């Protein structure tokens, strides 16, 4: 089908849904705002390497990769694709037009998966091909977007060893940004981060990582060693651990379980991920399963009125000039804004903002690119019972008939 035919089908479909009064995108204007909490979620935010080198202060640019030996070369790769980048840049630069979206939607709580160490010391983890780190001064990038908390349970947080992990935790703490999913021992790694909302409630963020995303087994936190909160091989054991970590759910609590799982490429959602997501929600304690690791957005499910994001795709990184896997359009990014009922945790609304990475900054995606994301989410969502359309603001919105 031609692109003209695709566009016509999209907007005819949107009109019919709006006419029927079934469009979830109108839901945010209905009901008492005090009973609603809107979150900002996204996939991987990687502020090391080329992004770090854009800033006035940066970590040592030396790399220990098989391909490139200087982090500044990732800037040159991006410039070769989209043109020169004047530098140094300010902390708002990597977010670009995403900051306007954050200001417009004004989410109550802002959560990301930070996929790099925050340190200038430590040694590269041996026998690991890629090592990400950023200078602690550049946490100003997260502050520029008002980020409240980070999940750190991923395959890059320990790239610079235990010293790098300690620096990461202390630097985030000094910046006023909560961290989840890692710690100096098992207890700390399994303790949820807590963010208070403006309405007096709390969002509790629990971070988990799977070996399927490339996390070395030796990174698992123990009673004596720092490390990552890892999934167990058994879903039942993992769910029992989540129950213990969350404990009693107090009135006004919302719980997000953020999981780094699976590979970087591919649309398929493994059956075990669906079983785990459903089992977590079946506990009655988990309101959102926030999955990441894939470099592109994957299918979305609504299970028992709870949101499951199987792969959010990357949001910020320095991959712009890296070739390969072009069919997945990893240059296109999404910001996710779910709105939940503050009392029950039930999903009321999901809006997503389509963006495109250019010159290592984010710009609103054009109509054709937004349409590509829409078609991808609808194709993958058809297997999961979800559908989407574009609203008048160019945002992707969940169909209220999705269940």
Give per-residue pLDDT as tens, 56-77: 999 999 999 999 999 999 999 9
pLDDT band at 10 (very low <50, low <70, confident <90, very high): very low
In whole angstroms, what is the distance from residue 186 CA to residue 359 CA?
Answer: 40
Largest CA distance in the chain: 61
DSSP bridge partners of 36: 341
Contact of 91 with 140, CB cutoff 8 Å:
yes
- Determine the angle formed by the axes of helices 271-282 and 235-246, rounding to 10 degrees: 40
- Full set of structural domains in the chain with CATH: 3-398 (3.60.21.10)
Residues 10-23, mean pLDDT to the nearest whole number? 32
pLDDT value, residue 74: 98
pLDDT value, residue 403: 59
**Count of beta carbons in the 10 Å neighbourhood of residue 289:** 25
Residue 253, SS3?
strand
Q: 119-155: per-residue pLDDT in tens?
A: 999 899 999 999 999 999 999 999 999 999 999 999 9
**Nearest Cα residue to 239 out of 203, 189, 281:** 281
The alpha helices in 175-321, defined as continuous H runs, are 186-189, 235-246, 271-282
Contact of 397 with 391, CB cutoff 8 Å:
yes
pTM of the model: 0.92
Contact of 74 with 117, CB cutoff 8 Å:
no
pLDDT value, residue 9: 31
Q: 207-248: per-residue pLDDT in tens?
A: 999 999 999 999 999 999 999 999 999 999 999 999 999 998
């Amino acid at each position: 089908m031609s692109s003209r035919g695709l566009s016509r089908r999209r907007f005819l479909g949107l009109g019919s849904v709006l006419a029927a009064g079934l469009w979830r995108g109108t839901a945010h204007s209905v009901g008492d705002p005090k009973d609603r909490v809107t979150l900002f979620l996204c996939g991987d935010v990687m502020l090391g390497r080329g992004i770090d080198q854009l800033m006035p202060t940066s970590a040592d640019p030396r790399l220990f990769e098989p391909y490139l030996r200087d982090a500044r070369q990732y800037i040159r790769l991006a410039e070769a694709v989209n043109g020169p980048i004047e530098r140094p840049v300010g902390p708002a630069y990597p977010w670009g037009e995403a900051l306007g979206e954050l200001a417009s939607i004004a989410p109550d709580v802002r959560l990301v998966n930070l996929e790099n160490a925050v340190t200038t010391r430590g040694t590269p983890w041996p026998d690991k091909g890629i090592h990400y780190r950023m200078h602690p001064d550049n946490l100003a990038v997260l502050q520029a977007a008002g980020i409240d908390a980070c999940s750190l349970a991923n395959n890059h947080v320990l790239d610079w060893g235990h010293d790098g992990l300690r620096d990461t935790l202390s630097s985030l703490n000094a910046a006023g940004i909560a961290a989840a999913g890692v710690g100096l021992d098992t207890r700390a790694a399994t303790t949820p981060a807590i963010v208070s909302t403006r309405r007096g409630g709390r969002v509790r963020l629990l971070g988990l990582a799977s070996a399927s995303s490339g996390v070395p087994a030796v990174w698992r936190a123990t009673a004596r060693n720092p490390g990552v909160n890892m999934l167990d091989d058994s879903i039942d054991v993992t769910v029992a651990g989540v129950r213990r970590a969350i404990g009693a759910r107090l009135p006004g609590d919302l719980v997000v379980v953020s999981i780094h799982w699976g590979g970087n490429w591919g649309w398929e959602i493994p059956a075990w991920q669906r079983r785990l997501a459903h089992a977590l929600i079946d506990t009655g304690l988990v309101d959102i399963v926030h999955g990441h690791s894939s470099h592109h957005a994957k299918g979305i499910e609504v299970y028992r009125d709870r949101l499951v994001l199987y792969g959010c795709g990357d949001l910020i990184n320095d991959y712009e000039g890296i070739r390969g896997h072009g069919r997945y359009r990893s240059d296109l990014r999404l910001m996710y804004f779910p709105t939940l009922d503050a009392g029950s945790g039930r999903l009321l609304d999901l809006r997503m903002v389509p963006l495109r990475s250019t010159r290592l900054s984010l710009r609103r995606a054009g109509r054709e690119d937004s349409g590509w994301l829409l078609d991808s989410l609808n194709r993958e969502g058809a297997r999961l019972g979800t559908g989407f359309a574009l609203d008048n603001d160019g945002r992707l919105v969940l169909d209220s008939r999705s269940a």
